[in-house]
């Protein structure tokens, strides 16, 4: 091939390519032109490059020099076109964001009202000198009944009043049940340490009750236990009164009504004044000597009190919730209020 012809091809290519590139405004068109001229397989630039091999050896340096000039010119036009296309892209996404506008509110989840209540109760009782302990929800009859002075034939053991775990019994021959009260933790704590003991334990308990506005088959209790030399029932009442006024407010009255629990003697029901009437919040009493004996404490040396309060009731009283089922429906419209 003649050098003239080769240079002519290059000139044409440059004119065409630079002309087309200079008219380009967007990325799609740019890509078309790129393939047409600079495509690696059959782009026109590639074709001209191939024909350089057909030049006489003496013509090649001059041909190569012109080739490089054209290559650089096309590259420069391409870079410019690319710049324009990317500016166009940012422009075309609509009006510019206004950084002075307030941001969109991010909706975060939060802790369930009962969990919030538990944390609050722990904090109040912590200030009264009670430390927090925990016990298992799956229990054995020793901790749920026997050590609590609830004998074999006691109605509290009735399968109709408890969730016995049949499979556990079938597979291993041992009786297991979902604890029906947090008093189990009293036993576990006293078995594992010597007095003085001043603890609370908050957790779930299970009873096969029909759900209604005030009952649910799973609920929470706060158990309290204080055993030491010379602990009295007057202290029990003081602690409960301090607790009630801290949690519910200064105007809350409390009262004890005589009652019976196998593990306390004497035993009382604990009522708080709620919206014009007395409402039962739980039970309490002086730890029965049989219980102290069961855990190896000397009832001649130590006395103690215990109480168990319903956590849902406390939460409902404080937040004016009237149906316990609302707490467990998982309806965000309700839960969001807390
Ligand atoms: N365990 C009792 C109940 O579930 C409450 C209670 C706890 C009573 C401690 C006396 C002492 O109702």
Q: Could you report the per-residue pLDDT of 47-67, keeping only the tens digit for each? A: 888 888 889 989 989 988 998
The average pLDDT across 94-100 equals: 81
Ligand 1 pocket member 308 (CB < 6 A): yes
Query: Does 331 lie in the same domain as 186?
Result: yes
Name the domain boundary from 93, 125, 154: 93
Residue 315 lies in a domain: yes
- For the chain, the average pLDDT equals 92
Nearest C-alpha to atom 9 of ligand 1 is from which residue?
Answer: 307
Tally of structural domains, the chain: 2
Give mean pLDDT, residues 199-206: 98
Residue with the bigger pLDDT between 117 and 248: it is 117
Same domain, 210 and 329: yes
Higher pLDDT, 204 or 41: 204
Instruction: Indicate whether residue 117 lines ligand 1 (CB < 6 A).
Output: no
**Which segments of the chain are extended strands (E)?**
131-133, 138-139, 163-164, 177-178, 197-206, 218-228, 254-261, 264-274, 277-287, 303-310
285 lines ligand 1 (CB under 6 A): yes
Q: Are residues 137 and 46 in the same domain?
A: no
Provide mean pLDDT across the span 244-267.
93
What is the mean predicted confidence (pLDDT) over 226-251? Answer: 94
> CB-based contacts of 326: which residues, under 8 Å, 6+ apart?
334
- What pTM did the predictor assign? 0.70
Where residue 93 falls among pLDDT bands split at 50, 70, 90?
A: low
142-152 b/e (C-beta count within 10 Å ≥ 16 → b): ebbbebbbbee
Q: How many angstroms separate the CA atoms of 328 and 185, rounded?
A: 25
Domain region containing 66: 3-93
Question: Is 121 within 8 Å of 247 (Cβ atoms)?
Answer: yes
């Amino acid at each position: 091939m003649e050098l003239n012809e080769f240079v002519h091809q290059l000139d044409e290519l440059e004119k065409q390519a630079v002309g087309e590139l200079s008219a380009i405004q967007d990325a799609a068109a740019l890509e078309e032109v790129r393939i047409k001229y600079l495509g690696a397989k059959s782009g026109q630039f590639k074709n001209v490059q191939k024909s350089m091999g057909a030049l006489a050896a003496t013509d090649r340096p001059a041909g190569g020099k012109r080739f490089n000039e054209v290559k650089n010119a096309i590259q420069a036009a391409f870079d410019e076109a690319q710049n324009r296309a990317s500016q166009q892209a940012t422009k075309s996404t609509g009006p510019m964001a206004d950084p002075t506008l307030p941001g969109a509110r991010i909706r975060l989840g939060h802790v369930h009202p009962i969990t919030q209540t538990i944390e609050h109760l722990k904090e109040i009782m912590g200030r009264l000198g009670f430390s927090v302990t925990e016990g298992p929800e799956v229990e054995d009859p020793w901790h749920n009944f026997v050590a609590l002075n609830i004998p074999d034939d006691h109605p509290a053991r009735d399968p109709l009043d408890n969730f016995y775990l049949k499979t556990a019994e079938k597979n291993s021959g041992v009786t297991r049940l979902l604890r029906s009260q947090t008093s189990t933790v009293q036993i576990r704590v006293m078995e594992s340490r010597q007095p003085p003991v001043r603890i609370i334990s908050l957790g779930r308990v299970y009873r096969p009750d029909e759900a209604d506005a005030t009952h649910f088959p799973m609920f929470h209790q706060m158990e309290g236990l204080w055993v030491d030399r010379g602990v009295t029932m007057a202290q029990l009442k003081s602690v409960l009164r301090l607790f009630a006024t801290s949690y519910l407010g200064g105007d809350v009255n409390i009262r004890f009504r005589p009652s019976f629990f196998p593990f306390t003697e004497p035993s009382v029901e604990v009522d708080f004044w709620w919206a014009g009437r007395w409402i039962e919040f739980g039970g309490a009493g002086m730890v029965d000597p049989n219980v102290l004996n069961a855990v190896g404490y000397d009832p001649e040396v130590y006395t103690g009190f215990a109480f168990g309060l319903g956590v849902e009731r406390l939460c409902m009283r404080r937040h004016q919730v009237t149906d316990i089922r609302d707490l467990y429906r998982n309806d965000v419209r309700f839960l969001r209020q807390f």
